[in-house]
Amino acid sequence: MKRKVTISQVVTIAFVAVVMLSCNRVRRSPGRAYMPDMTYSRAYETYYTSTEQLKQKGINYDGTPVSGTIARGDMLFIYPFKNDSVGYAQSGTVHNPLVVDSINMTEAERLYLVNCGICHGPKLDGNGPLWKGGDGPYPVAPKNLMGDDMKVLPEGTMFHSVTYGKGQMGSYASQLNVKQRWEVIAYIKKMQNGAAAKPATVTTDSTATK
Amino acid sequence: MIPCKPTGSKLKIIFLSFFVFSVFQVFAQGDVAAGKAIFNSKCASCHQVLKDGTGPALAGVESRHNWSDHNELLKWVNNPAAYMANDSYTQGLKTKFGSMMTGFADVTLTDIGNVVAYINDAATPKTPTGGSGGGEPQKTTNNALIFGIISLILGIIALILMQVNSNLKKMSDDAEGIVRPEPVPFYRNKIYIALLAIIFFIVGGYLVAKGAIGLGRQKDYQPEQPIFYSHKVHAGINQISCLYCHGGAWDSKHAAIPSVNVCMNCHKAINEYTKGPKLYRENGDEVDGTAEIAKLYKAAGFDPNNPNAWDPSKAQPIEWTKIHNLPDHVYFNHSQHIRAGKVQCQSCHGEITAMDEVKQVADLSMGWCINCHRQTKVDFNYTDSTGNKFYSIYERFHNDIKAGKMDSVTVEHIGGLECQKCHY
């Protein structure tokens, strides 16, 4: 009688221990699926494989579009200069092909806040959250876009820098298409020319900040 | 009863001392918020509170030299060169840090008080306030565990009492000389066996059903990624927009994993992890952030000692492990939800900004989708510039809303439960 109770106690403790251990487990495996060939696509989906891996299987496909392709929503504009000092010097001759008044500034502001604001600051003062007056992780001070030197910078040179990168700044050609780049530049020019009174804390989309 | 009542003069003294004390307090404390603003705009490019930078750490500044006198501090800040001329302490600082402090002639005594107040405030370690927030979910699991243990103990006690009861009965029977048939031991007792069988059936059935439903679902899946990329550090602390890296969520079906060049936009310059909190894997191992950045450099083919020689076209993609997976027979479009539906990323992906290692928060089951479609109200406004003109075609709903027949339109009303919306 007494022995039986001890056994049940041991079983209880073991059970509780198992429950507690299983509670703390991190799930590192996706688990099983009923129909793996439906759960995991048989076709090559985005990110499932790289072009290198495809080449090893004898599939000569890389996702690069044919040169000269213009994506939907983008614009026909071919920037004439190369990424060198000559191109940079001549870039000032290029002007914004968009009609500035027709640009949706709310969208341009959103693009600025998403892509540029983290360094150059929501107020364009070069004090974005990555710099934070020197407290942020970024080791060098981003350019103050409201500075006098930036106010006189031609929009073509801005386009050159955004497209190819400048100094520590990388190329934004993969994140902003040609049209978006010109929209952002138009937004910066508009803010530089005195629309700065408007507080830039307005986040136009739900995901821009936080 | 206490007979004494303070005389007028006594009262005056007490009142006066309180007044003086409070004035002193105000003077000594300064305005922390104002001090922070001044600190960030003027001091922060060289000074940190806790660590030496270009200039010395400012924590405990009042205890050094004769800085407890703010007037001295003011003289130094207003004109360092003049102050240093006959002061050996500040001369020593110049030798130690290799450069003299920039003067700030416009700083006033109030500013100094405020900045010192901010420094003292920032230097005091903050005690975490209460057990709120993070403790909550753990509490519920603990409760479940406690309830489980209690019911187990109660069950065992009941069993023991039943045995004791039968033993006592047997003893009393023996004492009274009543002869009864030998009692059946509990493991051969049909009632016990039947009860046990029913319990096993219910519990087993529940577990089997739960397992079968859960098969193919990946809730809580938290794989180890090739690089310890902390969303908490990037999206939380540094406030990088989700769309900076996952811009595809705005424009396309896929949220898109950023290519290496997007990482390198910032990490060309940020080559070490020093300013953020310590990072830990889920199993408690500490992560060396700088070493993780080095893994990125390896993939990018970037040499931090020779940054100008970097050729981005030689970068190799990083093979991240996909967490959220929908079967082939389900269509899901990010832009439709994020841009048209104005759904927050966090609604489905959870508090990403608090996750070091990302885990799947939603179970991505059909019931979960449908539930949200039933509950989510559509922003049906189409007249002003922020609205979606597409919704103008739902004339009947607009009329019903105007007539007060319905107060809002959910996704369900505009076809969010139609099978072929997602399965085709």
Q: Nearest CA to A14 among B348, B327, B149, B322?
A: B149
What is the band of A18 on the pLDDT scale with cuts at 50, 70, 90?
low
For domain A85-197, the CATH architecture is: Orthogonal Bundle (1.10)
Question: What interface predicted TM-score (ipTM) does this complex get?
Answer: 0.80
At B338 the pLDDT is 93
More confidently predicted of A5 and B264: B264
Bridge partners of B377, per DSSP, are: B410
Q: Residue B229 has what pLDDT?
A: 94
DSSP A98: S
Q: CA A188 to CA A184: how far, in whole Å?
A: 6
Query: Between B130 and A39, whose confidence is greater?
Result: A39
- State yes or no: pLDDT of A9 exceeds 90: no
Work out the number of other CB atoms within 10 angstroms of the CB of residue A188: 23
Compare CB distances from A50 to B254, B312, B317 and report the shortest one's residue: B317
pLDDT for A113 equals: 95
Asked if A38's CB is within 8 angstroms of B156's CB, the reply is no
| Long-range own/partner contacts, residues B24-29 (CB < 8 A, 24 or more apart) | B27/B113, B28/B113, B29/B117
Give helix B109-123 / helix B70-78 axis angle, nearest 10°. Answer: 110
Q: Are B112 and B75 in contact (CB under 8 A)?
A: no
What's the topology of domain B26-123?
Cytochrome Bc1 Complex; Chain D, domain 2 (1.10.760)
Please list every residue in chain A whose beta carbon sits closer than 8 Å to the beta carbon of residue B320: 47
pLDDT of A65 > 70? The answer is yes
Residues B110-155: pLDDT tens digits?
A: 888 888 888 888 777 665 444 444 334 444 567 888 999 999 999 9
CA angle A137, A140, A144 (to 5 degrees): 110
- The residues near B52 (Cβ < 8 Å, ≥ 6 apart) are B97
CB atoms B221 and A115 under 8 Å: no
Task: Transcribe B344-404 into DSSP letters.
Answer: -HHHHH-SGGG-SS----S---HHHHHHHHHHPBP----SSTTS-GGGGG-HHHHHHHHHT
- Where do the structural domains in chain B lie, given as residue ranges? 26-123, 147-178, 231-362, 365-424
Residues of chain B with pLDDT under 70: 1-29, 40-48, 50-55, 97-99, 102, 125-141
SS3 of residue A152 by DSSP: coil
pLDDT at A23: 53
Residue spans per domain, chain A: 85-197
Torsion of CA B392, B394, B399, B405, to 10 degrees: -130
pLDDT at A21 over 60: no
Output the pTM of the full model: 0.67
Residue-level pLDDT at A197: 45
Of the candidates A1, A129, A137, the beta carbon closest to that of B270 is on A137
Backbone angles phi, psi at A197, to 5 degrees: -65, -25
Q: What is the pLDDT of residue B129?
A: 45
Residue showing tokens 């936009």: B265
Phi-psi region of B228 (alpha: psi -120 to 50; beta: other; left: phi over 0): beta
Q: How far apart are CA B39 and CA B47, in angstroms?
A: 9
Residue B44 has a pLDDT of 59
Is the Cβ–Cβ distance between B80 and B102 less than 8 Å? yes
User: pLDDT tens across A87-138, in order?
Assistant: 999 999 999 999 989 999 999 999 999 999 999 999 999 899 998 887 888 8
Secondary structure of residue A183 in the 3-state scheme: helix
Q: Indicate the SS3 state at residue B286.
A: strand
Looking at the complex, does the CB of residue B40 fall below 8 Å from at least one CB of chain A?
A: yes
- pLDDT recorded at residue B22: 44
- Out of A23, A30, A47, the one facing B141 most closely (by C-beta) is A23
* In B30-179, alpha helices (H): 32-38, 70-78, 80-85, 88-97, 109-123, 135-176
Does an H or E element contain A205, and which?
none
Per the listing, tokens 């006959």 go with: B86
Number of residue pairs across A and B with CB atoms under 8 Å?
163
Q: What is the DSSP letter of B225?
A: P
Residue matched to tokens 């138009």: A186
The DSSP call for residue B247 is: T
User: Which residue, among B48, B118, B141, B239, would best test binding to A if mutated, counting the most A CBs under 10 Å from its CB?
Assistant: B239
Residue A164: exposure state from Cβ atoms within 10 A (0-12, 13-18, ≥19): buried
Nearest of B334, B294, B331, B300 to residue B314 by alpha carbon: B300
Q: Which residues of A touch B256 (CB under 8 A)?
A: 46
Backbone angles phi, psi at B106, to 5 degrees: -90, 0
